[in-house]
Structure formats: C-alpha cells, structure tokens
Amino acid sequence: MATKLYVGGLPYSTTQDELQNAFAKAGTVTSANIIMDKMTNRSRGFGFIEMATDEEAQKAIEMWNGQDFDGRKLTVNEAKPLEARAPHTGGGRDGGDRFQRRQSW
C-alpha cells in the first residue's frame, strides 16, 4: 500500500487547507495538493493526499471513499503512477493528417 492517495469528486471550491484538515482526521497528512486547470486556474475537482504511514492511508480510504464532502461524493483510492502517453501529433478530429489525405484524391 502506498501512502499517496487520489481524491476525486472534490467540490471546485475546496481549498488545499480544507482537504488537508479533512484527511487529518485519519492521521498525519504530509501533503495535500489540488490539481488546477492551467488555462483557468480553477480546480479540476481532484487532488492527491500523502499520509505519513500505509496504515493511515488505508484508514483515510475507509473513512472517505464514497462519503459526502460538501455535497459531492468522494472517490478515494491509492494513487497510480502517471503512465507515459504518446505525443500529441496535431489538430482536429481527423488526427491532423487531413491535408495529406486530400493530396491523394
């Protein structure tokens, strides 16, 4: 069990301090991070919590997963490592190669 947890379903108005204080009920929170949209600088509705021990992380999952938090149902589980994604190749719904296909008409 990892000590880093994913927290989804957060109200967009939730602050990092509010998130940290809520999860402190399950144990020692070493960090709280709400993910922000780069364009609007608003919350994306999810974040990550790091607990001091595996036991506290498990307790936080049991305490908060599926529970109401300011009117929204939280999803709390072990955070998974970010997977590598293929590079973005271009625009449009056609994958960016529309010009090349038209040349072959």
Residue 47: count other Cβ atoms within 10 Å of its Cβ: 20
Show the tokens assigned to 31. 């960090």
Instruction: Quote the CA–CA distance of 34 and 68 in Å, as a whole number.
Output: 18
**pLDDT, position 85:** 75
Fold of 4-72: Alpha-Beta Plaits (3.30.70)
- The structural domains of the chain, with segments of one domain joined by +, span 4-72
Per-residue tens of pLDDT for the chain, all 105 residues: 568 999 999 999 999 999 999 999 999 999 999 999 999 999 999 999 999 999 999 999 999 999 999 999 999 999 988 777 777 666 556 555 555 555 555
DSSP, collapsed to helix, strand or coil, labels residue 30 as: strand
pTM of the model as a whole: 0.76
